[in-house]
Chains A and B, each alone.
Chain A
Amino acid sequence: MDTKKTPVHEAHVKAGARMVPFAGYSMPVQYTGIVDEHMAVRTRAGLFDVSHMGEFFVEGPGALDYLQHLTCNNVAQLEVGRAHYTGLMLPNGAFVDDMLIYRLGDNRYLAVVNAANLDKDRNWFMEHTRGFDVQVEDLSAAYGQLALQGPQASAILKELTAADLAALRYYSFVETEVDGTRCIVSRTGYTGEDGYELYAPAKATAGLWDAVLGAGAPFGLVPAGLGARDTLRLEASMALYGNDIDDTTTALEAGLGWIVKMKKGDFIGRDSLARQRKEGLTRRLIGFEMEERAIARQGYPIVAGDRQIGTVTSGTFAPFLEKSIGMAYLPAGLCEPGTRFEVEIRNRTAPAVVVPTPFYKRG
């Protein structure tokens, strides 16, 4: 399969980014270094090209009922101009994908999905339209997406738009012009910082990238790659599909009960989730810290005595917290903060302890 390029590809190469294949795209993993970029987002601002993400537009009189059927969060409570995090659910209560849904109009929604799941998600959306008066259109190739994240994000974006950003609450969005380009601007992100995600026509995204970097330079804005995106989201304990959640982990096991709205009526996966909620969980996704100098990475076994009790789903050195952190599913009863266990790292084990999440919360 050919590797696809985002609309901003040329600028990444010119900036000396290290490009890696990810979800079928050539993506920048870092420009100057993961730690530099991570710290820039925590203390100033970083700009990410996330144009690989998928955009599905869902429209029609049946759009609400259709999305209610497919997802676990309550779309009926979503006002125009608001977005929410949700799961595209399997009958077993696990995930086809996790995603954001934006309510663009009375009968018009935007679903933003993971690039790695784009084909699977599109098929899932299309296979389930029967019985609903709805049209689903995959416009992923027509849209670019940039994420401007960090404490200076608002000050930077203010230079480029007339929109009232101060009035834009977390998980709200406006359709407005940024540097003369019509965009959806939402106060969302995947870093644990304040910030914005901009959805722009693909043709205009490279120009927008340059404009935002230019406006942000006096504020210390730097381009940031997928490497920092991963360490930032993990410090903020946000799940990554394929690591921490997938088609075998239920929303409840993943600690995402807050997006499961049983009272909204029937939806795919509801019965399984209701049963699981009644019977209790046998395992849960927890956050942990290493107690000595070691990094627990995805796939490393977690042991108690000579028994494997779990597997690391994500793990890294957290640049802002300056410690090694990770996430894993552990058996119920071993999930309380303070519970100790060992991680198998090559030919030895290293001690770790369950800690409360999020690891990092902005002040």
Chain B
Amino acid sequence: MFPENYKYTKDHEWVAVDGDVGTVGITDYAQKELGDIVFVELPEVGQELKSGETLGNIESVKAVSELFSPVTGTVVQINTALEDQAEMVNQDPHGAGWIVKIRLAQPEELGELMDAAAYGRLVG
């Protein structure tokens, strides 16, 4: 259910690493908890983020929820498709519903994140 090759945070975000870029999204567990997502407030390309810093907000019908950057680095791409189709985060949270791509400044941080099995236990 949670992709094996992703890393996970206790805030229910995932990072998929390709070279020095990490793609970040929220987990299937998180999207279910949030319910119908209507807006995603994205950061700007070029923005520098520290691990744990706010990178945006997700508005569901029910509530607003802050997104925290799971890694330190620079935003290199944002998923602009979410501006018109925020519901993609509900429909495909681990794929097309990705949120940002961040160039990793401190790849060693990834070692502190959970693997799929550990995350599965956290939300199980």
Binding site for B on A (CB under 8 A): 29-30, 33-35, 227, 231, 293-295, 297, 316-317, 319, 346
Contact = CB atoms under 8 A, between A and B. Distances in A.
Contact of B61 (A231, A294, A346): A231
Contacts of B36: 33-35, 319
B39 A34 contact: no
A295 B41 CA distance: 11
B35 A295 contact: no
A214 B4 CA distance: 42
Given A34-B36, A295-B38, A317-B38, 8 more contacts: A30-B35, A33-B36, A34-B62, A35-B36, A227-B62, A317-B39, A319-B36, A319-B61
9 smallest beta-carbon distances between A and B, as pairs = A35-B36, A317-B38, A34-B61, A295-B59, A293-B39, A317-B61, A33-B36, A34-B36, A34-B35
Nearest to A33: B36
Given A295-B59, A317-B59, A346-B57, A227 B64 contact: no
Contacts of A295: 38-39, 59, 64
A35 B64 CA distance: 16
Interface of B: 35-36, 38-39, 57, 59, 61-62, 64, 83
Contacts of A231: 61
Given A294-B39, A295-B39, A35 B57 contact: no
Contact of B35 (A227, A294, A297, A346): A227
Contacts of A33: 35-36
B83 to A, nearest CB: 8
Contacts of B39: 293-295, 317
Contacts of B83: 293
A349 to B, nearest CB: 14
A316 B61 contact: yes
Contacts of A35: 36, 61
